[in-house]
């Protein structure tokens, strides 16, 4: 089968022919139809310090996908050949304290699909049956392929009640744009998105943001005045990993505001803890998706509103055949895009 593989330590990937993965007990094998390109994949291709310390080559990368079940391992129930599905990319142990308490998203032994074990940039992928998320017919392959990042956005955006609240989203990458669509759908009063890219701010505006702020030229405080806000934002969703974005967010929050932080910084950075304490701001780190409450939430939102589904689909801006992976990676790295999809069908 075709697979996009990190064949050896160092920069680069290779699209090569390798044996199909074997489906064992408790597992399912899927024919991959579409796969989403993630920032993690860019790190793996460039082989930065994080990739070098995390990945053991050879490895098939990729963790965002949609496919068709073609084989079912022993002891698997509730799955049929031909089912269309997405997959949870975090494989958990089931035995640690958090797993046994039902908090599988914070398993201390999590294995990442396409990072710690062979992934989905291939014709076929094998995952635990417990990681399978069967999709209804109205979920098309492209939409199904971005359930992983949509889950990140959902987990972050719905961490706090947003009905009637003023929400600031810092970072207009695909997950930030989807988060803006989610809080708009969930009943936020004002939705403001900040970034340095006018292209991506345009995507956020199309997805439902009331106001988009290029922080290279405009301050968040100006956005507050433009919207007639007097007391600051009630909810902050930090999606950029940029220290300056966090500083700007904290400076524009209301007393008692709540912040969900998904964006991963490159390096440690200082935070104005005096403001956090005296303004009684709650900050919570977010990673991955709650298994599987987040999946239920995003499926329900997509089923309940065609407009919301269209807003999420609008984040997909570029599509490439699997053989065009170099162009796909270059496009994703340029920043002048939303979500990039690889077609493996």
Tens of each residue's pLDDT in the chain, 345 residues:
999 999 999 999 999 999 999 999 999 999 999 999 999 999 999 999 999 999 999 999 999 999 999 999 999 999 999 999 999 999 999 999 999 999 999 999 999 999 999 999 999 999 999 999 999 999 999 999 999 999 999 999 999 999 999 999 999 999 999 999 999 999 999 999 999 999 999 999 999 999 999 999 999 999 999 999 999 999 999 999 999 999 999 999 999 999 999 999 988 999 999 999 999 999 999 999 999 999 999 999 999 999 999 999 999 999 999 999 999 999 999 989 999 999 999
- CATH homologous superfamily of 2-146+315-343 equals Medium-chain alcohol dehydrogenases, catalytic domain (3.90.180.10)
CA distance 287 to 262: 6
For residue 181, which of 227, 243, 239 has the smallest C-alpha distance?
239
The answer to whether the Cα torsion of 134, 138, 140, 146 is positive or negative is negative
CA distance 206 to 311: 7
Q: Which of 7, 43, 77, 190 is catalytic?
A: 43
User: What is each CA distance from 116 to 63, 90, 274, in whole angstroms?
Assistant: 11, 10, 39
Rg (Cα) of the chain, in Å, rounded?
Answer: 20
Domain positions in the chain are 2-146+315-343, 160-285
List, in order, residues 6 or more apart from 231 with CB less than 8 Å away: 254, 255
Residue 266 has what pLDDT? 87
For residue 14, which of 4, 26, 1 has the smallest C-alpha distance?
4
Residue 239 burial class via C-beta count within 10 angstroms: exposed 0-12, middle 13-18, buried 19 and up: buried
Q: Which of 7, 8, 40, 185 is catalytic?
A: 40
Is 40 catalytic? The answer is yes
Residue 130 has what pLDDT? 97
CATH 3.40.30.10 fits 160-285, yes or no: no
Is 326 catalytic? The answer is no
H-helix segments, the chain: 39-46, 49-54, 97-100, 141-145, 147-157, 174-185, 198-207, 220-227, 243-251, 273-278, 293-304, 306-313, 325-334
Residue 16 has what pLDDT? 98
Q: What angle do CA 90, 92, 97 make, to 5 degrees?
A: 135
Residue 43 has what pLDDT? 94
Phi, psi dihedral angles at 229 (to 5 degrees): -80, 145
For residue 136, which of 85, 77, 188, 171 has the smallest C-alpha distance?
85
Instruction: Give the CA dihedral 10, 16, 22, 28, nearest 10 degrees.
Output: 90
- What pTM value is reported for the model? 0.95
Residue 119 has what pLDDT? 98
CA distance 291 to 151: 10
DSSP string for residues in 288-326: S--TTHHHHHHHHHHHH-HHHHHHHHTTEEEEEEGGGHH
């Amino acid at each position: 089968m075709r697979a996009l593989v990190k064949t050896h330590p160092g920069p680069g990937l290779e699209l090569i022919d390798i044996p199909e993965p074997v489906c064992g007990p408790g597992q399912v094998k899927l024919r991959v139809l579409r796969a989403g390109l993630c920032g993690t994949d860019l790190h793996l291709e460039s082989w930065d310090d994080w990739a070098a310390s995390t990945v053991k080559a050879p490895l098939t990368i990729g963790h965002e996908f949609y496919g068709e079940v073609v084989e079912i391992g022993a002891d698997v129930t509730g799955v049929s050949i031909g089912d269309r599905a997405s997959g949870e990319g975090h494989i958990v142990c089931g035995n640690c304290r958090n797993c046994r308490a039902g908090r599988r998203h914070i398993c201390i032994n999590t294995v990442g699909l396409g990072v710690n074990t062979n992934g989905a940039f291939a014709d076929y992928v094998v995952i635990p049956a417990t990681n399978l998320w069967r999709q209804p017919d109205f979920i098309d392959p492209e939409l199904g392929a971005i359930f992983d990042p949509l889950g990140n956005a959902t987990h972050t955006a719905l961490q706090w009640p947003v009905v009637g609240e003023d929400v600031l989203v810092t970072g207009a990458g695909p997950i930030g744009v989807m988060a803006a669509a989610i809080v708009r759908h969930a009943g936020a009063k004002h939705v403001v998105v900040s970034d340095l890219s006018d292209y991506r701010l345009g995507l956020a505006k199309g997805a439902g943001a009331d106001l988009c702020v290029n922080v290279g030229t405009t301050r968040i405080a100006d956005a507050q005045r433009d919207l007639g806000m007097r007391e600051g934002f009630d909810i902050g969703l930090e999606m950029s990993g940029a220290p300056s974005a966090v500083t700007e967010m904290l400076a524009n929050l209301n007393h008692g505001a709540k912040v969900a932080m998904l964006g991963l910084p490159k390096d440690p950075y200082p935070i104005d803890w005096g403001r956090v304490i005296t303004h009684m701001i709650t900050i919570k780190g977010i990673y991955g998706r709650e298994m599987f409450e987040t999946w239920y939430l995003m499926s329900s939102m997509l089923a309940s509103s065609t407009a919301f589904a269209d807003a999420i689909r609008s984040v997909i801006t570029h599509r490439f055949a699997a053989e065009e992976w170099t162009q796909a990676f270059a496009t994703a790295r340029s920043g002048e895009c939303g979500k990039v999809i690889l077609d493996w069908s």
